[in-house]
Structure 1
């Protein structure tokens, strides 16, 4: 596995933008910064436009694996802008298949716990002026994911990433995404094992329960 490291950190406030001539409001437009001051509920200077769908204590810090940028550049024949997925931390060595729900990491002096994969929405298409991107993200599982905050602190681009503990269930972010989006008849034992991970965010727990009941 690649050595873990931060490439850049980003934050942003909601903005009004245009897509296909229609105005929309979103905080997906992030700007690079020298540091993130991470609180229990949110990052200073980083807000969401639609709190009914975004934000909250289980979704304070969003990470997107830097390796995926090369994939999308090859896929679409052009590079994406920085923070193209509205992430706060863009990092190497932190792919969805290598990170598990409940894992605990230290970024600088902030301590974070993986809480859920990202449920991608159409704002990603609008942000990147690409109406194929959302579909491809769901197909690949290259969604990025969220952390809850266990200890407030500051994250800088040169802050080390240290894994403090690995959750014993070893339910990867990628495996939850794959089961939900791509398994029409999921293995009941696998689904039950995912639901037994208490650290899984409530939103995703509800999604998996709905899957279980179908």
Structure 2
């Protein structure tokens, strides 16, 4: 696997309230990565985005096809990079990427920390309601990385999996635990196992603990 897209942006007025957001990003040939993310990237709301547990965001390329099929009127807006991700690569998605996975991308090492919970900014980005609900229900949310080794990411850098947990929990499964699809039920044992999955961000550990209680 190789990186086929790198994206970064700066806060700008966005949405009906003109609140600062960096969901609109530009294509870059390289990004300088440290523990807080890409130096070329900046979050509009640092209380909800960014920081070591959400340093970088990746979105599955095939999820754009699902979005385009579900929302044909705005399909022309749904190009790779438009949902606010930093990294794009083929063949990686929420079903085959697992919490705690460690990936080497070029000279950088990243660990999957959590799903990206969708918000209403996705609706504003594409000018249509309920896209965030569709993303949640389908589990096509993308995922966040924490940075284990700093460096520079380049377009076309090779991606390799360095480590994976025993009995891993996929990004999609974890997302579904917070809002199970119709007919899907998670046992307390499954929730407890996910809550202690090595590499899971503390915020998500707490979410699962609340579900258990």
| Bin for the TM-score computed over the shorter chain | over 0.9
Question: How many angstroms apart in 2 are the aligned matches of 1:189 and 1:57?
Answer: 29
Show structure 1 runs of 4+ deviating over 6 A: none
Give the Å deviation of 1:7: 2.3
**What secondary structure is seen at the aligned counterpart in 1 of 2:27?**
strand
In structure 1, the residue matched to 2:99 is 101
Contact 1:5 1:93 (8 Å CA) reproduced:
no
Q: Which residue of 2 aligns with 1:35?
A: 30
Q: Indicate the SS of the match to 2:134.
A: helix
In structure 1, list runs of 5 or more residues that go unmatched: none
CA shift digits 1:13-65 (9 cap, x unpaired): 1111344xx42321111111111111012211211111111111011110001
Q: SS where residue 155 of structure 1 aligns?
A: strand
Cα distance in structure 1, aligned partners of 2:34 and 2:128: 33
Paired residue for 1:5? 2
Q: Against the structure 1 CA distance between its residues 24 and 81, is the aligned structure 2 distance closer, same or farther, given a 3 Å change threshold?
A: farther
Q: How does 1:1-214 map to 2 (within 5 A)?
A: 4-19=1-16, 22-77=17-72, 78-79=75-76, 80-182=78-180, 186-213=186-213
User: Unpaired runs of 5+ in structure 2?
Assistant: none
The 8 Å contact of residues 10 and 31 in structure 1, kept in 2 or not, is answered as: yes
The 3-state SS of whatever aligns with 1:186 is coil
When the two chains are superposed, the root-mean-square deviation of aligned CA atoms in Å is 1.5
Whole-Å Cα distance in 2 between the matches of residues 92 and 127 of structure 1? 23
Assess if the C-alpha contact under 8 Å between 2:110 and 2:145 holds in 1.
yes
Q: Deviations over 1:115-143 (max 9, x none)?
A: 00111111111112121210100110000
**How many residue pairs get matched?**
208
SS at match of 2:59: strand
State how far apart, in whole Å, the 1-side matches of 2:2 and 2:197 are: 27
User: CA-to-partner distance for each residue in 1:130-163, whole Å, 9 max, x for gaps?
Assistant: 2121010011000000000000011122101111
Distance, in Å, in 1 between the alignment partners of 2:15 and 2:47 is 22
**Offset at 1:198?**
3.0
How far is the alpha carbon of 1:185 from its aligned partner?
5.8
Q: For 2:53, what is the secondary structure of its paired residue?
A: coil
